[in-house]
Amino acid sequence: MPLVPGDPRAALVESLRQLAPADQEEAEDRDRILHFVLGHSDPFDRGIVEGHLTGSAIVVSADEARVLLLHHRKLDRWLQPGGHANPGETTGEEVALREALEETGIEGLVLYPGASRPLDVDIHAIPARGDEPTHEHLDLRYLVAAPRGAVLSPQVEELRAIRWVRWDEVDSHGPDHGLRRALGKARALIGG
């Protein structure tokens, strides 16, 4: 679907074209996501059977010494906050910020100044559940800063645990390659 003036996908297409992948896997994911975005008028639509865009947040503490990880109940893994777009949301930034607020309860989250948007991209398979078949999440990951004095008030039904993790403790939580890469980009950017 060609872009026309005013198309909400235009900024995302441009930012994806400017994204410098950290490795071959991210380069391939970026190219697939770009193709997907250009092929769907609403790439965030959960009704797209093969998959859809999602937005997630790499949330760093105000002192930049820690990153927020949550243990997802259904996937049984440590992840960053994130998820699906709500109807009417057209940017990964708004999805990532809303999802981070909903899942952590932290008020005042903001996009990290100077970070590329998105910071990282990743495609991962989501297993079938109920009437929903196996599909892919084409995840747009943003670096997000928590305010000083951030108070966690998590959405407990989705989580087993949520915690601030020091950078040197991240690997003990078993992040997959894509999350490890995104966290590495975040840490390098903030100088952690």
The string of pLDDT tens digits covering residues 10-67 is 999 999 999 999 999 999 999 999 999 999 999 999 999 899 999 999 999 999 999 9
Task: Calculate mean pLDDT across residues 99-116.
Answer: 96
In single-letter form, the type of residue at position 67 comes to V
Tokens describing residue 128: 């079938």
How many CA atoms does the CB half-sphere of 188 hold within 13 Å? 10
Q: Where are the domains of the chain?
A: 10-190
Distance CA 12, CA 94 (A): 12
pLDDT, position 192: 56
The pLDDT assigned to 131 comes to 86
* Residues 53/30, Cβ–Cβ less than 8 Å: no
Q: Which CATH architecture has domain 10-190?
A: Alpha-Beta Complex (3.90)
pLDDT band per the 50, 70, 90 thresholds, residue 103: very high
Please write the tens of the pLDDT for every residue from 179-190.
Answer: 999 999 999 999
pLDDT tens profile 114-163? 999 999 999 999 888 888 889 999 999 999 999 999 999 887 677 889 99
Cis peptide before 8 (omega within 30 of 0): no
Give bridge partners of residue 82 from the DSSP assignment: 56
pTM reported for the whole predicted model? 0.95
- Sign of the Cα torsion 170, 172, 178, 180 reads positive
